Amino acid sequence: MKTHLIPLLLLLTVLSGCLKEDDLHKPFASFAPPETDDGWEVVMPSEVGMDSLQLAEIFRDIHQNKDYWMVRSMLVFRNGKLVAESYTKDEADRTNPHAIWSCTKQVLGILAGIALDQDAIASVDEPISTYLPEETATHPDKKSITLHNLLRMQSGIGWSNDGASGQTDKLLRQLPDHLLDYILDRPKSAEQGTAYHYQDCDPHVVSAILQKQLGKPTDEWAAEVLFSKLGIQNWEWRRYKDGTTLGGYGLLMTPRELGKIAQCVLDKGKKGSETIVSESWINLMLSPHSPNAENGSQMGYYWWIEPNRHLYYMNGHGGQYAFIHPEKKLIVVTMSEPNTQDKYQFQTEEAFKVVDRVLNTIQ
């Protein structure tokens, strides 16, 4: 995935070898999850048709294989129940939220659907000038950009998340007073709808629209309409200094809480008998709106699709993942060191291999 506001000093510490090899992971002991009051029912693998011995081998590899040194946790859910989990570095990760980076975008995709369900947004085909008339008045070339194109990363706004020349990196140094104005002031790199380009600016515009339409910060509204309804308690969501909730990143969460987001999507927008977001939106969100996104994957409305494996997934920088296999009613969540780069990340292709192995434990 693309880089974000990565603390450089922490990255250099990791890459310079300040961590001793023996400190990277603690020995594997068990994948049995403890019962807590967080709403997850805990079951044995055999109760949901999974092979315990095969699962143990996978978790042992996560702990022992040096290629997985950056992975901090892995959790397996099936049939709406927590089957297995292990924290490779610190058991406190069970309750302490960590940055999930671009998984924030997938949460925002769900919130856009809730806003439509509540008629806070009329249609994804509306231009942003409908919702941001004052903000777009001084940026007439951006007035016609639609929510549809923002949600599928085809706004045409010229932006880069990458490297020292990226706008995200410049924000770290410049910190403009108003982030939305900074985004709208960027030159166009293409006509909207003509080219997919993964970037943090598009979801931030969506967050700004939600915030203006709802009359409160996006994170505050998310707590009311999504997090509280799913029983999500251990989370934080950062705002920019102008008060706008960050849309492209900024959300911190625990692996168990991330699993609740994925479970809601697997359950077609429901929590038990309660509808959180309409099934029609879930289906639209998970449709391939950008068929040739990256690395063989497709993109829906901020959600990633791997058609060959029949997976939908959340993907955050460094190796924050929630994979959903709807046919098997399986969810695999991993969280990793968040502030890594390039080959030091838990790469998507490697994560796919782990999910393949988990799928093979289903009897």
**Residue 35: how many other CB atoms lie within 10 Å:** 9
Q: Cα separation of 246 and 202, whole Å?
A: 11
Radius of gyration (C-alpha) of the chain in whole angstroms: 20
pLDDT of res. 124: 97
Beta-carbon-side half-sphere exposure of residue 239 (alpha carbons within 13 Å): 14
Q: Considering the domain boundaries, does residue 159 fall inside one?
A: no
Residue 17 clears pLDDT 60, i.e. is over it? no
pLDDT of res. 294: 85
Residue 295 clears pLDDT 80, i.e. is over it? no
156 Cβ neighbours under 8 A, 6+ residues apart? 145, 149, 188, 189, 190, 191, 192, 193, 194, 195
Q: Cα separation of 133 and 115, whole Å?
A: 19
- The strand order across the sheet containing 98-99 reads 98-99, 251-253, 235-237
pLDDT of res. 1: 41
- Taking residues 130-143, what's their average pLDDT? 97
Band of residue 296 on the pLDDT scale cut at 50, 70, 90: confident
Q: Cα separation of 109 and 90, whole Å?
A: 31
Closest C-alpha to 329, from 357, 304, 362: 362
Band of residue 8 on the pLDDT scale cut at 50, 70, 90: very low
Q: Considering the domain boundaries, does residue 255 fall inside one?
A: yes
pLDDT of res. 26: 93
Q: What is the pLDDT of residues 249-276, one digit of tens each?
A: 999 999 999 999 999 999 999 999 999 9
Residue 46 clears pLDDT 90, i.e. is over it? yes
Q: Cα separation of 324 and 96, whole Å?
A: 23
Residue 3 backbone dihedrals phi, psi, to 5 degrees: -75, 155
- Which residue type occupies 251? L
Residue 331 clears pLDDT 80, i.e. is over it? yes
Q: Considering the domain boundaries, does residue 185 fall inside one?
A: no
CA distances from 48 to 75, 261, 272, 360 (A): 15, 20, 18, 13
Q: Where are the beta strands (DSSP E) in the chain?
A: 71-78, 81-87, 98-99, 235-237, 251-253, 270-271, 274-275, 290-294, 297-299, 304-306, 311-316, 320-325, 330-336
Q: What is the mean pLDDT of the chain?
A: 92
pLDDT of res. 166: 59
pLDDT of res. 351: 98
Percent of the chain with pLDDT over 70: 91
Q: Considering only 134-148, 154-168, 288-302, which range has the smallest mean pLDDT?
A: 154-168
Q: Cα separation of 245 and 237, whole Å?
A: 7
Residue 9 clears pLDDT 60, i.e. is over it? no
Q: Considering the domain boundaries, does residue 228 fall inside one?
A: yes
- Which residue type occupies 248? G
**Cα first-last separation, the chain:** 33
Residue 14 clears pLDDT 60, i.e. is over it? no
Q: Considering only 53-57, 158-162, 310-314, which range has the smallest mean pLDDT?
A: 158-162
163 Cβ neighbours under 8 A, 6+ residues apart? 3, 169
Residue 218 clears pLDDT 70, i.e. is over it? yes
- Taking residues 16-39, what's their average pLDDT? 79
Q: Cα separation of 108 and 324, whole Å?
A: 17
pLDDT of res. 215: 97
Percent of the chain with pLDDT over 90: 87
Q: What is the CATH number of the domain that holds 55?
A: 3.40.710.10
Domain with 242, as residue range(s), is 1-125+200-363
- Which residue type occupies 202? D
> Could you give the number of structural domains in the chain?
1
Residue 116 clears pLDDT 50, i.e. is over it? yes
Q: Considering the domain boundaries, does residue 169 fall inside one?
A: no
Q: What is this structure's pTM?
A: 0.92
Structure-model confidence comparison of residues 178 and 3, the more confident one:
178
Band of residue 316 on the pLDDT scale cut at 50, 70, 90: very high
pLDDT of res. 167: 66
DSSP for 107-133, please give it.
Answer: HHHHHHHHHHHTTSS--TTSBGGGT-H
pLDDT of res. 24: 81
Residue 357 clears pLDDT 90, i.e. is over it? yes
Residue 311 backbone dihedrals phi, psi, to 5 degrees: -110, 145
Band of residue 168 on the pLDDT scale cut at 50, 70, 90: low
SS3 134: helix
Q: What is the pLDDT of residues 143-157, one digit of tens each?
A: 999 999 999 999 999
